[in-house]
């Protein structure tokens, strides 16, 4: 399904707003001392860095997953994972958004004892996260500041094709 059928609204998030929302998420995560934070790349990298700073988490890692862009919905592909011998006790998984929950389910299955937090959640994905800040409708495309110029812009590498 293309973006024209799936997304009917756009919710633009500024750098200032993502900073505020990540700090609000960090406040909700103060209930324990976290051993490690795992950002789901690429969208979860900036929220994970902000939250790691706010919660003084020094062990930061990534799981790299690719599933969709605004222009295409594809199959989920795990590009990089970390040692899965741990079930994730004391770990915090962070992503910018849980949309359909497809990525969250795969990462949650890797670390079933970790806590999963997202800055934004849509109804289909909400059951896969433990904590989030803002819910948006399923038909909303969230335009993050790292994807905008102030509207969606293809990465430079894609413009050369």
Tokens of 4: 């024209």
CB 12 within 8 A of CB 62: no
Question: What average pLDDT does range 108-130 have in this prediction?
Answer: 96
Tokens of 126: 């909400």
Tokens of 76: 């989920």
3-148 maps to CATH 3.30.2010.30: no
Q: Which residues contact 20 (CB under 8 A, 6 or more apart)?
A: none
pLDDT classification of 8: cutoffs 50, 70, 90: confident
Q: Which residues are catalytic?
A: 95-96, 99
Whose structure tokens read 């990089």?
A: 80
Rg (CA), the chain: 15
Tokens of 95: 């992503």
CB 70 within 8 A of CB 3: yes
Q: Which of 3-12, 37-46, 66-75, 100-109 has the lowest mean pLDDT?
A: 66-75
pLDDT over 80 (residue 159) = no
Query: What is the percent of the chain where pLDDT is above 70?
Result: 89
Whose structure tokens read 């409708």?
A: 137
CB 93 within 8 A of CB 108: yes
Whose structure tokens read 């293309």?
A: 2
Q: Taking the mean position of all CA atoms in its chain, how far away is CA 97?
A: 4
Cα 156 to Cα 161: distance, rounded to the nearest angstrom: 10
- Closest C-alpha among 55, 38, 46 to residue 18: 46
- Residue 14: its pLDDT value, please? 94
pLDDT classification of 82: cutoffs 50, 70, 90: confident
CB 123 within 8 A of CB 135: yes
Cα 155 to Cα 31: distance, rounded to the nearest angstrom: 38
């Amino acid at each position: 399904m293309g973006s024209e059928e799936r997304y009917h609204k756009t919710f633009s998030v500024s750098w200032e707003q993502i900073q505020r929302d990540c700090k609000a998420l960090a406040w909700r995560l103060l209930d324990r001392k976290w051993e490690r934070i795992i950002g789901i790349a690429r969208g979860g990298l900036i929220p994970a860095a902000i939250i790691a700073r706010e919660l003084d988490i020094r062990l930061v890692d990534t799981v790299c997953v690719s599933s969709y862009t605004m222009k295409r919905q594809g199959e989920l592909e795990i590009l990089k994972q970390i040692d899965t011998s741990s079930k994730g006790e004391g770990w915090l998984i962070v992503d910018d958004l849980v949309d359909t929950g497809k990525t969250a389910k795969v990462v949650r299955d890797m670390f079933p004892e970790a806590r999963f937090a997202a800055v934004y959640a849509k109804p289909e994905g909400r059951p896969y996260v433990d904590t989030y800040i803002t819910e948006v409708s399923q038909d909303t495309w969230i335009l993050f500041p790292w994807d905008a110029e102030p509207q969606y812009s293809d990465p430079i590498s894609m413009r050369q094709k």
